[in-house]
Amino acid sequence: MELVVYKSNGEKSTRKIKLNKAIFEVEPNDHAIWLDTRQIMANRRQGTHSSKERNAITGSRRKIKRQKGTGTARAGDIKNPIFRGGGRTFGPRPRDYGFKLNKKVKRLARRSALTYKAKDKELLILEDFSFNEAKTKNFLELLGHFDLTDQKTLLVLPETDENILLSARNIQKAKVINASSLNTYDILNANILLIAESSMKEIEKILA
């Protein structure tokens, strides 16, 4: 599959780029995509939720009523979970939700996601470009040249460009990442994937 290389002003250049079949034309594996996306979302969870159980509640340990004969449930002290203000039973504790996933599965998931984008024609290759200064207006103009102002876009750069990164920061539906940070969730979450021409070599180095 070949794609036209576009200039940053929205015009087509005279060049085309051939997509690597080992990355953009594989047999998509939906289960690998699900596993990788699930891991990414799990790793993003803070896991800082917490509640006080009876051992963390301040209060007397004195037995507040006799064990039998009251007609109500037995209770040891005021921190008992059956009382208002008592400790919580089996409450949430801080934890890490992350889990291990094999590198080959993650690589297959990214290939599958890129294949879907290529098949659905949601992939644009741009000539390498840069901004002279960090302005949101510059990035909006770039998106406007391709009629993508209202679309979720993901721009993949070969390396960090501070001006481009800062120009896109205040645009809610736009995201800019390095090719080395490309992941399955971001690929599929975007309506259109914009890839800088030099990023293709980095993507091939990682996924081919």
What digits encode the pLDDT tens for the residues 110-120? 999 999 999 99
Q: State the pLDDT confidence band at 137, using cuts at 50, 70 and 90.
A: very high
Task: Provide CATH code, domain 2-46+100-207.
Answer: 3.40.1370.10
Sign of the Cα torsion 157, 159, 161, 162 reads positive
The whole-number average pLDDT for the span 202-208 is 89
Note whether 110 and 207 are within 8 A (CB): yes
Q: What is the mean pLDDT of the chain?
A: 92
Whether the pLDDT of residue 96 is over 90: the answer is yes
Q: Looking at the predicted structure, is the pLDDT value of residue 46 above 90? A: yes
- CATH 3.40.1370.10 domain locations along the chain: 2-46+100-207
In tens, the pLDDT along 2-27 reads 889 999 888 888 888 999 899 999 99
Q: Which residues of 162-191 are buried (b: 16+ CB within 10 A; e: fewer)?
A: eebbbbbeeeeebbbbebeebbbbbbbebe
For 153, which DSSP code?
Answer: E
